[in-house]
Chain A
Amino acid sequence: MTTTTTHLIRAVETVEGTRTDVLVRDGVVVELGSGLSAAGASIVDADGLLVLPGLVDLHTHLREPGGEGSETVLTGSRAAAAGGFTAVNAMANSSPVADTAGVVEQVQALGDRAGYVTVRPIGAVSRGLEGTHLSEIGAMARSRAAVRVFSDDGHCVSDPLLMRRALEYVKGFGGVVAQHAQEPRLTVGAQMNEGALSAELGLAGWPAVAEEAIIARDVLLADHVGARLHVCHVSTAGSVEVIRWAKSRGIDVTAEVTPHHLLLTEDLVAGYDSRFKVNPPLRGHDDVEALRAALADGTIDIVATDHAPHTSEAKCCEWDSAANGMVGLETALPVVQRTMVDTGLIGWADVARIMSTTPAVIGRVAGQGRPLAVGEPAELTLYDRSVTRTFSVDHLAGKSVNSPFIDYDLPGRVMATFHQGYATVESGRVVETETVARAAAGVAARRLAIETGASTR
């Protein structure tokens, strides 16, 4: 074992505003306090940096299997680490679809081998995402991947009966259905937010009501059957109102908002630049304000990236033909800082909650989103809040470059990420693939030795 397993993070600031050293050994935080001994440890000078629990993304498209031209589990994991994430939940719309135990186990194994982040596969709700028959939900839940989040994301589970059954079925093992809320008949051929601008640009409208009507139906269904519902990428002020009402009634619903819906508006579509084509579409200023307020007051629980890589062929064309989606792992934390923290809406402890603690709880991601305390897993992100970067393609670490934030001035930079106690990002750079894979293999071997040792004793 050549990889250092002991790290001393010196003089880092916590989300509560205190300063501490953090000693990490064998994947665990073993000591906190000032002036800790450095014997045998690699030193990380974290003066001026903030320590966050490793970020957890509940909504990531890793594209593998089937879409390796735009992203793989490995390249997406690198992008995640670069953005300060230590866990991602991989959406099911791969090819083949993640609707069987075999596919979800494969995705999880690829994630484990890459070693940059914990990869938690999301299972499809319906077979082939076709919205007609339930997928092998139980088999995926019982598989080695132990799937707990189910979603047809990219498609809405629009059939109310199928949605009801899915909500009921996953209740049996503490699962959750993450709904892509989009009434399909109201969004046939939809290209952008429906309003004055879509009328001017001659692009078919994606009306807010198509999202809000599905959310309203789903919270009532969740209430009726006593199940847990998660709403993906909330994009409208009206959706916020529906969710606020549902929560006030005690309905077990959680919701996410993407970084791009917190910052960007539909005005960007006016040049027909397909980097700004995304589903749900960019909305108006009032929607952005409502989403920020809802995230601040807890109506919206978390930020999730909806990281959606696409090849340049899929984006470099006329608007109608261009694929929906934006990459977002690397920019998530800076965009949250710009839209939520620098605006005074929330503090850093809230950032830890909405980007780590709560997503881990919703997704039942073990060992993630934990507080900074002795004995907790060393899943940590060190973040420099004081810098501002003009974001460029060079700052992306995945395979695709379809970021809407190119040339935006964004605050903050992830300087280090620790996953299972080893560094995946060091000095602001993603650690080499082989080094990380070796460290991950070391952790797996150690864990296996402990387990087998325990069982033979």
Chain B
Amino acid sequence: MRHLLSTADLALDDALRILDIAEDMADVSTREVRKLPTLRGTTVVNLFYEDSTRTRISFEAAAKRLSADVINFAAKGSSVSKGESLKDTAQTLAAMGADGIVIRHPSSGAPRVLADSGWVEAAVVNAGDGTHEHPTQALLDAFTMRRRLHGAASRGRDLDGLRVVIVGDILHSRVARSNAWLLRTLGAHVSVVAPPTLLPVDVSRFGVDVYYDLDEALARVRPDVVMMLRIQQERMNEAFFPNAREYARSWGLSAARFRALPATAIVMHPGPMNRGLEISDEAADSPRSTVREQVANGVAVRMAVLYLTLAGDREDSL
């Protein structure tokens, strides 16, 4: 695995390989010494053009547990804002000997441009690009679902027949895109729910069912998983919907909607949550909420991705 840029072109075998290795990595985290020597002498740079403390810390923890050296490059507010290009920054990092670059960028496709450019030799891991993809988030979500579904017997299993409903700002969500493609590859059935303004005009390439009405979607699909997406406050100022109250009433996972879910259904959220807007306290704090598991699993999944891109054969990009 040369790079991890997207889930859209991730084959089933590769996805399962990442998830299975993540199981091994999760086991490491339960040991007394939670560290492997695997990436000793390897340098991983977290190149973040957007603030995302949570994702950055997760990658940092993953790299350190594999004994890699970690450099955090917060490109926002540094030389980059003085007009340094992605090209120059990447070449600077390459000159410093970066073996892996974990990139978060506001422009869709920036990790792909970096990987294809020839500017760097390093493995490129997409940590979220614009409104395009966030593949490690989707992998950790799938990992979390698989563990809830199959428990200790998860290795080698896919998500065949799992019914997943993703609710919220599909238009701007890289989490929704990466999940749609990965979950479909793993055999799950995905539906998305959003006001029409927060859906792309044409979602035919997503391979999902589309609902505008959350109650209808929950009643028809009888989901195993409900994934709530974060609503950005600025969307309200851009006329995507009238106000927070109306959004919460129509598309929020209220206590009543939560109680009406099938008894085994789990509730997911990539965080950070807007409590009272897209998700109620009752749903967020219930034992059926996986929010904290998702965070813990994130480290294991990112360890697996760093292991496969930096310690493996590094043949093709995934």
Interface residues of A (CB under 8 A from B): 191, 194-205, 207, 271-273, 313, 316-321
Contact = CB atoms under 8 A, between A and B. Distances in A.
Q: Tell me the interface secondary structure of chain B in the complex.
A: loop
Given A200-B177, A201-B132, A321 B107 contact: yes
A60 B174 CA distance: 38
A191 to B, nearest CB: 8
Contacts of A207: 201
A319 B85 contact: no
Nearest to B180: A200
A320 B116 CA distance: 16
Contact of B200 (A191, A199, A313): A199
A318 B174 contact: no
A358 B131 CA distance: 44
Given A205-B201, A272-B112, A272-B113, A200 B206 contact: yes
Contacts of A201: 108-109, 132
B86 A318 contact: yes
Contacts of A199: 200-203, 205-206
A321 B49 CA distance: 13
Contact of B132 (A195, A202, A316): A202
Counting chain B residues whose Cβ lies within 8 A of the other chain, the interface size class is 20 to 34
A196 B177 CA distance: 12
B195 interface: no
Contacts of A191: 108
A316 B87 contact: yes
A319 B106 CA distance: 11
A197 B202 CA distance: 8
A196 B200 CA distance: 8
Contact of A317 (B87, B130, B131): B87
Contact of B203 (A196, A202, A319): A196
Interface of B: 8, 85-87, 105-110, 112-113, 116, 129-133, 174, 177, 200-206
Contacts of B133: 202
A203 B174 CA distance: 11
A377 B284 CA distance: 80
B110 A318 contact: yes
Given A313-B85, A317-B87, A198 B200 contact: yes
Nearest to A195: B202
Among the interface residues B86, B87, B108, B201, which one has the most CB atoms of the partner chain A within 10 A?
Answer: B108
Contacts of A204: 131
B189 to A, nearest CB: 19
A199 B177 CA distance: 9
Contact of B109 (A196, A197, A316, A318): A318
B158 to A, nearest CB: 23
A319 B108 contact: yes
B107 A197 contact: no
B200 A318 contact: no
A194 B203 CA distance: 11
A262 B177 CA distance: 31
A272 to B, nearest CB: 3
A352 B107 CA distance: 43
11 contacts: A194-B202, A195-B202, A199-B203, A205-B200, A205-B201, A272-B108, A318-B107, A318-B110, A319-B109, A319-B110, A321-B107
Contacts of B105: 318
Nearest to B203: A199
B130 A202 contact: yes
The 3 A-B pairs of least Cβ separation, nearest first, read A202-B132, A199-B200, A272-B109
A207 B202 CA distance: 11
A201 B112 CA distance: 11
A191 B108 CA distance: 10
Contacts of A271: 112, 116
A302 B181 CA distance: 43
A197 B206 CA distance: 10
Contacts of A317: 85-87, 113
Nearest to A197: B205
A197 B129 CA distance: 16
Contacts of A202: 108-109, 129-133, 174, 177
A274 to B, nearest CB: 8
Given A271-B116, A313-B85, A196 B107 contact: no
A197 B108 CA distance: 13
B49 to A, nearest CB: 9
A196 to B, nearest CB: 4
A45 B156 CA distance: 73
B60 to A, nearest CB: 24
Nearest to B173: A202
A205 B108 CA distance: 12
A200 B201 contact: no
A320 B86 CA distance: 12
Contacts of A321: 107
B85 A320 contact: no
Contacts of B8: 200
A319 B113 contact: yes
A272 B110 CA distance: 8
Contacts of B177: 200, 202
B135 to A, nearest CB: 12
Contacts of A318: 86, 105, 107, 109-110, 113
A199 B203 CA distance: 7
A141 to B, nearest CB: 40
Contact of A320 (B112, B130, B201, B202): B130
Contacts of B132: 201-203
Nearest to A198: B200
A81 B196 CA distance: 51
A194 B86 contact: no
Contacts of A194: 201-202
